[in-house]
Amino acid sequence: MSIKANLKEIRSNIPEYVTLVAVSKTKPNTDILEAYDAGQRIFGENKVQEMVQKWETLPKDIEWHMIGHLQRNKVKYMANFVSLIHGVDSLRLLQEINKQAIKHNRVIDCLFQIHIAEEDTKFGLDQKEIEEITASGQLKKLENVRIVGLMGMATFTDNQSQVRKEFENLKAIFNNLKNTLPSISILSMGMSGDYQLAIKEGSTMIRVGSSIFGSRNYH
Ligand SMILES: *Cc1c(COP(=O)(O)O)cnc(C)c1O
């Protein structure tokens, strides 16, 4: 199937309120433009340099989401245009995003990444760490970042009940956090293999790559 057909199929299978982030990492501009021509405007990348190159050459009404693990020294390269940063996993990173946002006179929207998977290889905060950050009073001082929600990645497994449990856990943390941060509204969870389940468990934003663009080749 074509990129256009894949997008149409996915859109027809998800509720209106769910935002679809088309994950275009490793994919060429021609593929992105095919999705763009089919109406897609939100794209996700996991490497800052690659995202900057694509932003420079592609239409300026694209919203770029940074979905990967982010190093503090890379924030400055995308602070002028990134529209949502999904993977914020420390206060120090958030402070750096705030600092760079000030330079561009912007407010940058961010999600805290929560570690819900069994695997250690996935990044993110746990419930206790997120509570520490919100209780510290530090967030209020960072006027050029806005925490708009949470993001998480489930374990890569065929075990549906485990994945469901991890999504439920993230949704519970989200509901909890809403008491202290009423402004949060985005729950970014679900990828090609598990977005249907994620939506059932309360996702409002899915990050889908291979089901749109086909499988990726890493060299
Ligand atoms: C690559 C990636 C995705 C998309 O994965 P697919 O399985 O291709 O849909 C989603 N989220 C993150 C954080 C990713 O790195």
With a 6 Å cutoff on the Cβ, whether 207 touches ligand 1 is yes
Domain map (residue ranges) of the chain: 3-210
Indicate if the pLDDT at residue 75 is higher than 70.
yes
One-letter-per-residue 3-state SS of the chain: CCHHHHHHHHHHCCCCCCEEEEECCCCCHHHHHHHHHCCCCEEEECCHHHHHHHHHHCCCCCEEEECCCCCHHHHHHHCCCCCEEEEECCHHHHHHHHHHHHHCCCCEEEEEEECCCCCCCCCCECHHHHHHHHHCCHHHHCCCEEEEEEEECCCCCCCHHHHHHHHHHHHHHHHHHHHHCCCCCEEECCCCCCHHHHHHCCCCEEEECHHHHCCCCCC
Instruction: Give the pLDDT of residue 14.
Output: 98
Pocket test for ligand 1, best of 24, 31, 46, 216 (most atoms within 8 A of CB): 46
- Digit-coded pLDDT (tens) for 145-182: 999 999 999 999 999 999 999 999 999 999 999 999 99
Q: What predicted TM-score, i.e. pTM, was given to this entire model?
A: 0.96
Residue 67 Cβ contacting ligand 1 at under 6 Å: yes
Residue nearest to atom 4 of ligand 1 (CA): 209
Domain 3-210 homologous superfamily, CATH: Alanine racemase (3.20.20.10)
Distance 85 CA to ligand 1 centre (A): 14
